């Protein structure tokens, strides 16, 4: 697995530091005086990619929360370009009247958030905010509204810290670029 890495784009220490900063921002935005009354949110990681990011983030957000799940596929199998997003499954719980924070690993074409944000609103959420760990440097990503962004990265295919290629590499602690010959190898 480690022999497949071309270079480390974001090392784990930098990810951990930024995740804590994001958690502080999110906590402040959901605590009085930023909101009136007791803060309570529903966290919804978009699986599978946001699993590790969400697990690390929420342990630094000390406010009452429920967790819902949503599985969206956009880069199935060996794809390194979006094939269009589709919802594969959801276990959101009742989001009616709740403040929902959707969490995704990476913002690329924007297709995932454009699909999921209206869906959660239609289910009756009071507010829907979005948080992504990574945003690619491309117009479609920059033009997609998002409330919290961890890192801006070049328009390259990355894996690690939850992000996969053909379902592998999610357990790499760093965000990395794979060697060219790994992509497309069967």
> By CB under 6 A, is residue 164 in contact with ligand 5GP?
yes
Dist CA 134 CA 120 (whole Å): 22
For residue 108, indicate whether it is catalytic. yes
Which are the contacts of 160, defined by CB distance < 8 A and separation ≥ 6? 169, 170, 172, 173, 174, 175, 176
Closest CA to 80 of 8, 184, 185: 184
Residue 162 interacts with Mg ion (CB under 5 A): yes or no: no
- The distance of closest approach from Cβ of residue 183 to ligand 5GP in the complex, given in angstroms and rounded to an integer, is 11
Interface segment toward ligand 5GP; rule CB under 6 A; list 13-21, 23-31, 93-101, 153-161: 153-161
Catalytic residue, chosen from 56, 105, 108, 174, is 108
68 in contact with ligand 5GP (CB under 6 A): no
How far apart (Å, rounded) are the C-alpha atoms in residues 26 and 7? 31
Footprint (CB under 5 A) of Mg ion, residues 37-76? 49
162 binds ligand 5GP (CB under 6 A): no
Q: Is 30 helix (H, G, I), strand (E, B) or coil?
A: coil
Could you give the count of Cα atoms lying within 13 Å of 48 in the half-sphere of its Cβ?
A: 15
Q: How far is the CB of 102 from ligand 5GP (least distance, A)?
A: 11
Is 166 a residue that touches ligand 5GP (CB under 6 A)?
Answer: no
> Alpha-carbon distance 2 to 9, whole Å?
14
Catalytic sites, residue numbers: 108
Interacting residues with ligand 5GP (CB under 6 A): 46, 49, 74-75, 82, 85, 104-112, 157-159, 163-165
């Amino acid at each position: 697995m480690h022999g497949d890495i071309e270079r480390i784009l974001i090392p784990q220490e930098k990810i951990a530091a930024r995740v804590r900063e994001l958690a502080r921002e999110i906590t402040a935005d959901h605590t009085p005086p930023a909101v009136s009354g007791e803060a309570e949110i529903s966290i919804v990681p978009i699986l599978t990619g946001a699993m590790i990011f969400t697990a690390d983030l929420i342990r630094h957000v000390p406010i009452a929360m429920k967790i819902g799940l949503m599985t969206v596929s956009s880069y199935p199998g060996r794809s390194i370009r979006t094939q269009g997003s589709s919802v594969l499954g959801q276990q959101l719980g009742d989001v009616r009247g709740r403040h929902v924070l959707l969490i995704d690993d990476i913002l690329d074409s924007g297709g995932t958030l454009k699909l999921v944000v209206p869906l959660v609103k239609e289910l009756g959420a009071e507010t829907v905010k979005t948080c992504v760990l990574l945003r690619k440097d491309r117009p479609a990503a920059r033009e997609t509204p998002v409330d919290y962004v961890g890192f801006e990265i070049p328009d390259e295919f990355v894996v690690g810290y939850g992000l996969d290629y053909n379902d592998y590499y999610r357990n790499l602690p760093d965000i990395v670029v794979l060697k060219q010959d790994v992509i497309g190898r069967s």
